[in-house]
Amino acid sequence: MNTANIKRVACIGAGTIGSSWAAYFVTKGISANIQDINDEILKKAEEQIMGHLRSLLVYGVINEEQMQESRKLLKFTTNISEAVSDVEFIQESVLERYDVKEKIIEEVDKYTSDKVIYASSSSGLLATRLQQYSKYPDRVLVAHPFNPPHLIPLVEIVKGKASEESVQTAASFYKSIGKIPIIINKEVPGHVANRLQAAIWRECIDLVLNGVCSVKDVDSAVCYGPGLRWALMGPNMIFHLGGGDKGINGFLSQLQGSFETWLADMATWDIFPDDTGEILASGLKEEIGTNTINDITKWRDSKLINILKDLNLI
Ligand SMILES: NC(=O)c1ccc[n+]([C@@H]2O[C@H](COP(=O)([O-])OP(=O)(O)OC[C@H]3O[C@@H](n4cnc5c(N)ncnc54)[C@H](O)[C@@H]3O)[C@@H](O)[C@H]2O)c1
C-alpha cells in the first residue's frame, strides 16, 4: 500500500499509549478512530489526548489552528467494527496480554481487508504468536513505541512472519509522519531498546546496592555524562569518534582490555535483589527533593521538546 493513502488510523485501546498515539496521529493530519471498552474510559482518553495537544500548544510544537484541526480528526467509539472498517492502518495498544490481543485480532479480521496493517504496540509479546491469531498473518506486526509516543520518535518494528511489503509499508508510514522506525529481523524478548535499558539499569542498581555511589549520583553519571551524547548518537558512533583518526579499531586497540576488565566485574544477575525497590525509593526521595512527580514530568517534557526541536524531530 502507498503510505500516502494512509489518512485514517484506528487506535484500538485508549490507555496511556493509545491516547498518546492518537494525539500524535491527529497532529500529523491523520484521522484517528479511537476505540476502547466503555464510554467512561473513552472520556478519560479524550481528556488525556486534549492534555497532550495542549502541552504541544504550550511548548510551541503546534499552533491554535492546528490544535483545533487536530481535535476535529478525533472520533471515539466502543464499537470495534466502526473503529476499523474505514481505516488504512491499525495501531493496537490494548492490555499486554495474548488473550486480549487475540480477541481483537479476530475481530479486526472480520471487518477489514487483508491489506490493512495491524501494528501492535506490544512491549514484549511475540509477533509470531500474535500473527498466529490472524487469518492474514502477513499484515500483523509489532510496532513498539517509546512512552510517550507523541514525543519519542523511536518505533521498533518486529517482523516475525509479516510480509516484507507490510514491514516496508509500516516503516515508510511511520517515517512519513516523523517517527524513526527500526526493523527487528529476529524476535528477542524486550526487542532492542528495552534490552539496552535493562542492561544499564541492572548495572546502576548494582552500583547502588554495592555502596559504590548513591541513587542520585548514578543518575547524574548517566545524564550529565554519556546520556548527553546518547541523545545525539549511539555507542558505536561515539566510540568510533573516540578513536580519533583511527576510528573504532583505534578505540578498541587502546581500550578493549579495559572494557574487558570492567565487564568481568559487572553485574550478571537476572532476578532483582530483594531490597531493590526500598533502596531505590529512598535514594529517589533525596534526588527529587521538594519537587513533585508532576513538576519533574513537566520539566522533562519541556526539555525533551527542546532537544527534539533542535534535532528537527518534532
Ligand atoms: N506504558 C508503557 O510505557 C508502554 C510503552 C510502550 C508500549 N506499551 C504497550 O502498549 C500497550 C498498552 O499499554 P498501556 O500502558 O497503554 O496500557 P493501559 O492499561 O494504559 O491501556 C490499555 C487499554 O486497553 C483497553 N482494553 C482492554 N481490553 C480491550 C478490548 N478488548 N478492546 C479495546 N480496548 C481494550 C483498556 O481499557 C485500556 O484503556 C501494551 O501492549 C504495552 O505493552 C506500553
Q: What is the pLDDT of residues 133-168, one digit of tens each?
A: 999 999 999 999 999 999 999 999 999 999 999 999
- Calculate how far, in angstroms, residue 312's C-alpha sits from the geometric centre of ligand 1: 29
Give me the residues paired with residue 145 across strands: 155
| C-alpha span between 144 and 91 (Å, rounded) | 10
**Which alpha helices (H) appear in 137-214, and where do they start and end?**
164-176, 193-209
The model's confidence at residue 277, banded by pLDDT at 50, 70 and 90, is very high
User: Using N-to-C axis directions, what is the helix angle for 215-223 and 276-288, rounded to 10°?
Assistant: 70
pLDDT of the residue at 168: 96
> Hey, what's the cell of 38?
466503555
Strand partners, 156: 144, 182
| Model pLDDT, residue 5 | 85
Residues paired with residue 119 on neighbouring β-strands, in sequence order = 91, 141
Gap from CA of 94 to ligand 1 centroid (Å): 4
Residue with cell 496511556: 16
pLDDT at 285: 94
**Residue among 124, 229, 116, 135 at smallest CA distance from 184:** 124
Q: What residues does ligand 1 touch, defined as CB less than 6 Å away? A: 12-18, 35-37, 41, 93-96, 100, 103-104, 121-123, 144-145, 147
Which of 24-28, 80-84, 99-103, 287-291 bottoms out in mean pLDDT, i.e. has the lowest?
Answer: 287-291
Show the cell assigned to 49.
489526548
Pocket test for ligand 1, best of 11, 78, 95 (most atoms within 8 A of CB): 95
**Spatial CB neighbours of 108, under 8 Å, sequence gap ≥ 6:** 12, 80, 84, 90, 92, 116, 118, 134
Interval between CA 46 and ligand 1 midpoint (Å): 15
Question: Is the peptide bond prior to 148 cis by the omega test (within 30 degrees of 0)?
Answer: yes
Measured CA to CA, the distance from residue 161 to residue 122 in angstroms comes to: 16
The superfamily (CATH) of domain 3-184 is: NAD(P)-binding Rossmann-like Domain (3.40.50.720)
Confidence of residue 2 (pLDDT cuts 50, 70, 90): confident
Beta-bridge mates of residue 120: 92, 142
Query: How many helices (H) does the chain have, and how many strands (E)?
Result: 14, 8
Is pLDDT above 80 for 4? no
What ligand 1 atom has the least distance to the C-alpha of 19?
Answer: 16
CATH fold of 193-310 reads N-(1-d-carboxylethyl)-l-norvaline Dehydrogenase; domain 2 (1.10.1040)
C-alpha cell belonging to residue 107: 475481530
Instruction: Determine contact, residues 69/27, Cβ cutoff 8 Å.
Output: no
Q: Are the beta carbons of 139 and 117 closer than 8 angstroms?
A: yes
pLDDT at 263 over 80: yes
Residue 1 pLDDT greater than 80, yes or no:
no
219 alpha carbon – ligand 1 mean position (Å) = 28
Burial (0-12, 13-18, 19+ Cβ within 10 Å), 124: exposed
Residue 127 and residue 162 in contact, taking contact as beta carbons nearer than 8 Å: yes
CA of 130 to the centre of ligand 1 (A): 15
Cβ atoms of 34 and 14 closer than 8 Å: yes
In the structure, what pLDDT confidence band is assigned to residue 58 with cuts at 50, 70 and 90?
very high
Instruction: Write phi, then psi, for 24 (nearest 5 degrees).
Output: -65, -50
In 3D, which of 27, 24, 29 has the Cα closest to residue 8? 29
Average pLDDT value for residue range 250-276: 97
DSSP code per residue over 93-113: ---S-HHHHHHHHHHHHHHS-
Task: Kindly give the distance from the C-alpha atom of residue 310 to the centroid of ligand 1, in angstroms, as a whole number.
Answer: 31
Domain with CATH 3.40.50.720 in the chain: 3-184
Residues of the chain with CATH 1.10.1040.10: 193-310
- The residues with which 91 forms a beta bridge, in sequence order, are 11, 119
Ordered strands of the 8-12 beta sheet: 74-77, 31-35, 8-12, 89-92, 117-120, 140-145, 154-158, 180-184
**20 CA closest ligand 1 atom index:** 16
> How far apart, in whole angstroms, are the C-alpha atoms of residue 114 and residue 264?
50
Give dist(CA 131, CA 138) in Å, integer: 8
- Dihedral in degrees, nearest 10, Cα atoms 51, 55, 60, 61: -70
What integer best gives the mean pLDDT of the chain?
96
